[in-house]
């Protein structure tokens, strides 16, 4: 994270390098999102939480991005939106799988209680 801050501070001194810094940060964010999607598919929620914290810190260091001043970054913005959508879908699928398993366990527990009460 310190490297990211240094990179941003240097862009304030050299405005021409702002696009390069934003591109690098957006690339890092893309990689984090891709990892989070894979973690969601594997059900590794603890790692997703840690990765989300990293992504939040990265976004915070980026600050607001003026896409009108940097129209060439619009492609990356579109990719980030798609990745966030894919992450939401993967997390929702995982949530549904967990809910289905929980429902199955509740039914099994209920069946055992009925069996135990009738024995």
Token pair recorded at residue 21:
């810094």
Contacts of range 30-39, beta carbons closer than 8 Å, 24 or more positions apart: 30/76, 30/79, 30/80, 30/83, 32/58, 33/80, 33/83, 33/84, 33/86, 33/87, 34/83, 36/87, 37/83, 37/86, 37/87, 37/90
State residue 16's pLDDT score: 58
State residue 108's pLDDT score: 92
State residue 118's pLDDT score: 83
Q: Decide if 48 contacts 39 (C-beta within 8 A).
A: yes
pLDDT tens for the chain, 119 residues long, are 444 444 444 444 445 578 888 899 999 999 999 999 999 999 999 999 999 999 999 999 988 888 888 888 899 999 999 999 999 999 999 999 999 999 999 999 988 888 888 87
Cα–chain center distance at 17: 27
Positive/negative CA dihedral, 43, 105, 99, 96 = positive
Q: What residues does each domain of the chain span?
A: 2-118
């Amino acid at each position: 994270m310190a490297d990211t801050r240094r990179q941003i501070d240097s862009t304030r001194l050299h405005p021409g390098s702002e696009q390069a810094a934003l591109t690098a940060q957006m690339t890092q964010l893309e990689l984090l999102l891709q990892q989070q999607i894979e973690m969601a598919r594997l059900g590794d929620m603890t790692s997703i939480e840690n990765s989300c914290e990293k992504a939040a810190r990265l976004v915070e260091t980026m600050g607001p991005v003026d896409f009108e001043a940097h129209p060439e970054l619009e492609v990356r913005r579109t990719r980030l939106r798609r990745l966030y959508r894919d992450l939401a879908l993967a997390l929702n699928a995982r949530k549904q799988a967990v809910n289905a398993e929980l429902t199955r366990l509740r039914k099994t527990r209920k069946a055992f209680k009925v069996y135990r009460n009738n024995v």
